[in-house]
Homo-oligomer: A and B are copies of this chain.
Amino acid sequence: MDAQPITNTEIYAILESVRRTTPLIQCITNNVTVNFVANTILAVGGAPAMVDIPEEAEVFAAVSSALYINLGTVHADQRMSSLSAARTAKDSGVPWVLDPVAVGMLPVRTALARKLLSYSPTVIRGNASEILALAGHKGAGRGVETGNEVDQSCEAAMELARQSGATVSVSGPVDLITDGNRILRLKNGTDLFTRITGAGCALGGVVAAFCAVAPAFEAAVAANAVYAVAGELAASTSAGPGTFQVHFLDALASAALERDGNQVSLA
């Protein structure tokens, strides 16, 4: 069944809750976009901590407000850290988000992602090809880019959500969020997100921050909405991908974001 859209007021209340409580967000993420992920989490009001060495990841997961695991560049150390931190998060009741970058086309990360599923991620965020692949369907990913439309992945996303118990968030021109029962589509956003590296990674970090203060489905919807609206605001003042990345951080950090209640377009 389709979900009753969450209201603008509910969405911005979740953002304000992040800003008020500054949740500690542990990130085990790729080295390509790690700086942007940290700055994006700071912009929404979280406290990012990129603690990813095997000797420290587990200890830290137990005291984090939420955990973000991104498989962009899974060196041996990060594979070990991901597994021990995810297990600890599960055991400690710490919400955690899985971002299965390029899963499907590359063997190491695909096997790792399947193992991580057994530790009950709170939210899984990816593009259509990644979600299809993780659900066991045939995807058409090309490197870190999707080769599938979001709607092609709708059934797979619902299956994956039911099997894993996670909320599944599929990013694309229209985002799709489902917990296996409810489905919401979000129309906000800008094409400029595809012109910079790390837009998906940083969204995953924001979803983790929102999971620290709200239930999975609501957190995923609110994170996608706030992120997409900030992207629209930034796009309107940007001359290209360089200025867009800069203005996006400004927009996301601006108190005007929630004060003005910019319209979220859910269906």
Bound CA–CA A147/B244 (angstroms): 34
**Is A84 interfacial (CB 8 A cutoff)?**
no
Other-chain residue from B42, B76, B195, B243 in contact with A195 (beta carbon distance below 8 A): B42
Query: Which residues of chain A from 185 to 208 have any CB-CB distance to chain B below 8 Å in the complex?
Result: 195-198
- Distance in Å: Cβ of A74 to nearest Cβ of chain B: 6
How large, as a class, is the contact surface on chain A?
35 or more
Known contacts A60-B106, A239-B250, A242-B247; is A32 also within 8 Å of B50 by CB? yes
- Determine if A55 and B249 form an interchain contact, defined as CB atoms under 8 angstroms apart: no
- Determine if A59 and B106 form an interchain contact, defined as CB atoms under 8 angstroms apart: yes
Most buried by B among A102, A243, A249: A249
Other-chain residue from B51, B108, B144, B247 in contact with A56 (beta carbon distance below 8 A): B108
Query: Which residues of chain A from 41 to 56 have any CB-CB distance to chain B below 8 Å in the complex?
Result: 42-43, 47-53, 55-56
- Determine if A53 and B33 form an interchain contact, defined as CB atoms under 8 angstroms apart: no
Bound CA–CA A251/B243 (angstroms): 10
**Is A127 interfacial (CB 8 A cutoff)?**
no
- Distance in Å: Cβ of A36 to nearest Cβ of chain B: 7
Give the number of times this chain occurs in the complex, counting copies.
Answer: 3
Specify which chain B residues have a CB less than 8 angstroms from the CB of A36 in the assembled complex.
35
Known contacts A51-B106, A60-B106, A107-B59; is A241 also within 8 Å of B145 by CB? no
Specify which chain B residues have a CB less than 8 angstroms from the CB of A73 in the assembled complex.
50-53
**Is A215 interfacial (CB 8 A cutoff)?**
no
Bound CA–CA A109/B53 (angstroms): 11
Specify which chain B residues have a CB less than 8 angstroms from the CB of A196 in the assembled complex.
39, 42
**Is A95 interfacial (CB 8 A cutoff)?**
no
Specify which chain B residues have a CB less than 8 angstroms from the CB of A249 in the assembled complex.
240-242, 245
Bound CA–CA A75/B57 (angstroms): 11
- Determine if A56 and B107 form an interchain contact, defined as CB atoms under 8 angstroms apart: yes
* Given A56-B106, A240-B251; 9 other pairs, CB 8 A cutoff: A30-B50, A33-B38, A35-B36, A42-B197, A55-B107, A55-B108, A240-B253, A241-B253, A243-B250
